Amino acid sequence: MRIYRFLPILLLAACQGTDDQTDTDKQVEIFTWWTSGSEAAALETVLDAYRATYPEVDLINASVAGGGGSAARPILQTRLLGGNPPDSWQTHHGSELMEYYVTPDYVASLKDLYDAEGWYELFSPSLVDMISRDGEPYLVVLNLHRSNTLWYNKPLLAEHGIVIEDSLSLDELLGIAESLQLANIPAMCMGDTGIWATGIMFENTLVGTIGPERYLGLWDGTTSFTDADVMQAIENYGRLLDHQNKDHAALSWDQAAKKLGDGDCAFYSMGDWVYGELIQNGLEENVDFGWVAHPGSDGTFLLVTDGFTLAKNAPNPTETLDMLRIMGDRVVQEDFNLLKGSICARTDCDRSRFGPYLQWSMDKYAEGVAVPTVIHGSAAPPGFQQALNDALTNFVVRRDHQAFAESLAREAHAAGFGQ
């Protein structure tokens, strides 16, 4: 009988043994939150490309489920603080990369890799700027999502005699919303069980109302959240909230996308991860659904990126650099983005492989001003990101414009970038 008491320890020892064996082989560990449907499939194309080139390396895919990294980041944080980093992990550009990883010195510079591969010519200078500090890049960007797209159900609008041209103003949108209300159809689709979904609509309305220069000013203190034009943006956002579907608090963002496809609501202001969702639901672009820039934001590209880092003191630096080189490859980026529903970070991808929406997005990226989003961690530190989510949670229910603006101004000040 006594042996059974030691069984757990023996088992542990056995596991330890096998771990040690693989340590002698080459391996590389990457950490992501891409675990669902199209995301996981897209990631798999990158991993397959790596496996094909380096079959002898044991590839560890340490994915943790959870949208936007909400569940993965705490785990990663613990590993980094404990001195046990994965070789490479996923992060958004801008503030998230800098505040979480560059400032505390968790990541290594990729300047040599960028030089050796000639990537300074192949990625746009503005993008390289957003992932660099003091001239040292810290991220290999895989894809670019556009956050400020207004999607609409084409057949539903046609039924009510509405045709959307290349651009739509806020007044036109609200006019359409009024007429749809008479037919008992909510104009705006929303699913904000995750409050960030309504945050996207807020950001889109904000940048659409005050323009990219004033929007960028919010993050360096030249624009205040209590300025008249920002108050107007909050007002506009509130008017859109008046037209959202009643059950928004019970739905997630993808359920709202399904509602759009089903014609239960007409417009959806949401990043282009919705595109993949709509396609997956069997809808056809330009037939079942159409798109236009969120009102007022035609020349602006609210940018959401996903990229990978190189850990400082990475256990397997050579293998990790090989992985990052594969991620920056043109064909790998094309294959990845076709599945992910986004556009390449490289500027030389083959347009003809992409559908009408993604081509539209490429044109908009090329001609527009790229600005960072708070909701995906690029514009402001995580403390402010949380504060915005909390302020939105209150605003959606209480609609107190003044309190909303003042709390944002206060938090911006506390985070060190406000006036």
Partner 1 sequence: MVNPHWLVRNKGLLILLPSLLLTAIFVYGFIGTSFFFSLTNWRTLAVDLSLREPLWQTYTDMLAMPRFQADLRNTLVFTVLFIGLAIGIGLGLAILLDRQIAGRGFFRSAFLFPYALSFIVTGVVWRWIFNPETGINLFFDILGINQVLEAAGMDPLSPGWTTDPEVVLSVNQVLAHVWPSGMTFQIEWGIPIALIPVAIAATWQLSGFVMAMYLGGLGSISRQVRDAARIDGAGEFRMYRSVIIPMLTPITISTAIILLHVSLKIFDLVFAMSGVGPGFATDVPAIFVFEMMFKAARYNLGATASVVMLVASCLVIVPYLMHTFRSRET
Closer by beta carbon to partner 1, 232 or else 389: 389
Under rule CB under 8 A, residue 402 binds partner 1: no
Under rule CB under 8 A, residue 398 binds partner 1: yes
Residues 27-86 that bind partner 1 (CB under 8 A): 70, 73-74, 77
Among 193, 286, 313, 318, binds partner 1 (CB under 8 A): 193
Is the distance from CB of 355 to CB of 292 less than 8 angstroms? no
Q: What gap in Å lies between CA 278 and CA 254, rounded to an integer?
A: 9
Residues 6+ apart with CB under 8 A from 300: 148, 207, 208, 211, 212, 215, 293, 368, 369, 371
State the alpha helices, DSSP H only, in 54-105: 72-81, 95
Under rule CB under 8 A, residue 381 binds partner 1: yes
- 179's tokens: 């007429």
Helix (H) or strand (E) holding 290: strand 289-293
Nearest-CA neighbor of 190 among 119, 237, 275, 257? Answer: 257
Q: What gap in Å lies between CA 170 and CA 288, rounded to an integer?
A: 23
Closer by beta carbon to partner 1, 69 or else 290: 69
**Minimum CB separation from partner 1 for residue 249, in Å?**
4
> Mask 229-258, x = binds partner 1 (CB under 8 A)?
------------------x-xx--------
**Minimum CB separation from partner 1 for residue 25, in Å?**
33
Given the rule CB under 8 A, which of 15-23, 130-138, 176-184, 379-387 is the region that contacts partner 1?
379-387
**Which amino acid is it at 295?**
P
Closer by beta carbon to partner 1, 124 or else 393: 393
Among 22, 103, 126, 402, binds partner 1 (CB under 8 A): 103
Q: What gap in Å lies between CA 371 and CA 303, rounded to an integer?
A: 6
* Contacting positions for partner 1 (CB under 8 A): 70, 73-74, 77, 99-100, 103-104, 193, 195, 247, 249-250, 381-383, 385-387, 390, 393-394, 396-398, 403, 407, 414
